[in-house]
Amino acid sequence: MYRKATMALAVAAALGLPHAATAQTQDDLRTLREQVRQLDRRVTDAEQAAIQASSRPASESAMNPAVSVILNGIYSNLSQDPNTFRINGFAPTLGDVGPGVRGFSLGESELALAANIDHHFRGTLIASISPEDTIGVEEGYIQTLSLSYGFTIKAGRFFSAVGYQNQIHAHAWDFTDAPLANKVFLGNQLNEDGIQLKWVAPTSLYWDVGVEAGRGRQFPAGPAGGRNKNGVSSGNVFTHIGGDFGTGTAWQTGLSYLSTSPQDRTFDDLDSTGTGTIVTNSFSGTSRLWVLDGILKWAPNYNPTYTNFKLQGEFFRRKENGNLTYDTTAASLGTQTGGFTSAQSGFYLQGVYQFVPMWRVGYRYDRLNAGTASNGLVDSGALTAADFPILAKYTPTRHTVMVDWSPSEFSRVRLQAASDKSRSDVTDHQVFVQYIVSLGAHGAHKF
């Protein structure tokens, strides 16, 4: 097409020459024809280059992955030995729920890669580097880009949409550690191997509905690593609704229902012989968790640069029913199994206020309720309640305050203090100094 246009212009120019041009020498005509041929060649080369560029693999184009690194350093001053940390009234969660080590440490850091794969899919990989120098995959999934009517599908490993806090990476938390409720009900943070389907409604208010199916790779499903079975071992149904009101306030509330089927979910406890023997117990049955979450954000004229306030809270309620096996390795009084049911709850409420640019203060209150439990081994007289000290009824609480300074969107320094009454016999007075820095491109955080 370009070649024909070029020749047409050349012919038109030749026909339009004044009669004096006919007196030009043959050399002048040959020069004109050569110029036309060179122009035609350049157009042809440009066409071929465009065709080759459109057929190159995406890896050779501008679709390179965004790469970022999050560094997280912590200094911890703890009045109680973190190696003996426990949350009385609740079975250990097999997750990293303790306050960490004393003194200086490199907290959990992240390496993230994300890019559009093509016009149908986007891929994300986030690797976590623990203080113990182990590397794991926090999230690694593909997500659809081209589904219609507000639907998206995510498949791989991802943070479950159960509650609000669970979906946020640790470096974006407003406090150094997770709420106690997230520790005991989700093992600190639940990331699942599975698939998620979500629909966002075409309404003036934000409204989404979603469902997840997973293999139950970690607490509360258990055992660690997931069950050796086909099919689904964990399911979550969730919905969120939110909107704006006034001249600077936004809100969102959500409801989640997580259903799992633990099989031989183990935890360690002490026996009642007075010898300090550690016994390994296990639970098999069903676990049902409901989470109600809410968040309110305020900023004058929706501009959070100078001042803003965020109020966040969640309420958890869990019911479990099944069998509890005592001393699975016969280390003390012998292996015994009986029925077990429990109903437990907990909540946290936190507020964070930016009073001047770059400076924020915050307060969080945690409270758990061990609730009621029926232990068949104790009810029948086969064992006593003293054989299950970790399950003794208790109401853990914690008060936390923090102040942080963020000179830019890529760095933050935080001072945090807490009075932690997770253990029934002592109070742990905790002080943390933390820095969080981001190197490279990093995506936007959740609302």
Q: Give the largest Cα separation in the chain, rounded.
A: 124
Tell me which amino acid residue 10 is: A
**pLDDT-based confidence at residue 27 (cuts at 50, 70, 90):** low
The number of angstroms, rounded, from the C-alpha of 334 to the middle of its chain's C-alpha atoms is 41
Nearest to 262, CA basis, from 91, 391, 385: 91
Radius of gyration of the chain (CA): 31
Mean pLDDT of all residues belonging to the chain:
87
pLDDT at residue 64, rounded to an integer: 77
CA dist., res. 241 & res. 6, Å (int): 60
Token pair 């997931």 in the structure block, residue:
226
Q: How far apart are CA 255 and CA 375, in angstroms?
A: 30
Q: Quick one: 412 exposed, middle or buried, by C-beta within 10 A (0-12, 13-18, 19+)?
A: buried
Query: Please, are residues 196 and 153 in contact by the beta-carbon 8 Å criterion?
Result: yes
pLDDT at 169 over 90: yes
Alpha-carbon distance of 310 to 165, in angstroms, equals 13
pLDDT digits (tens, 9 = 90+) for 334-385: 999 999 999 999 999 999 999 999 999 999 999 999 998 999 999 999 999 9
Q: Tokens 């004229």 map to which residue?
A: 301
The tens digit of pLDDT for each residue in 261-313 reads 998 999 999 888 877 789 999 999 999 999 999 999 999 988 999 999 999 99
State whether residue 48 is helix, strand or coil.
Answer: helix
Helix (H) or strand (E) holding 13: helix 2-15
Angstrom CA distances, 167 to 44, 190, 191, 288, stand at 53, 9, 9, 19
Rounded CA separation 277/203 (Å): 60
Question: What is d(CA 101, CA 126) in angstroms, rounded to the nearest whole number?
Answer: 24
Q: Determine contact, residues 292/255, Cβ cutoff 8 Å.
A: yes
Q: How far apart are CA 424 and CA 90, in angstroms?
A: 12
Residue 446's pLDDT band, with cuts at 50, 70 and 90, is: confident
Query: What would the pLDDT profile of 56-104 be if each residue is shown by its tens digit?
Result: 444 434 557 889 999 999 999 999 999 889 999 998 876 678 998 999 9
Using CA atoms of 182, 183, 189, 192 in order, give the dihedral in degrees to the nearest 10: -100
Does residue 441 or residue 113 have the better pLDDT? 113
Predicted pLDDT of residue 41: 57
* pLDDT over 50 (residue 2): no
Q: Which residues 6+ apart lie within 8 Å of 101 measured at CB?
A: 76, 82, 131
pLDDT attached to residue 57: 44
Pair 94, 187: CB distance under 8 Å: yes
| Contact (Cβ atoms closer than 8 angstroms) between residue 120 and residue 144 | yes
What lies within 8 Å, CB to CB, of 34 at 6+ separation is none
Pairing of strands 411-421, 336-356: unpaired
Question: Residue 310: beta bridge partners?
Answer: 297, 352
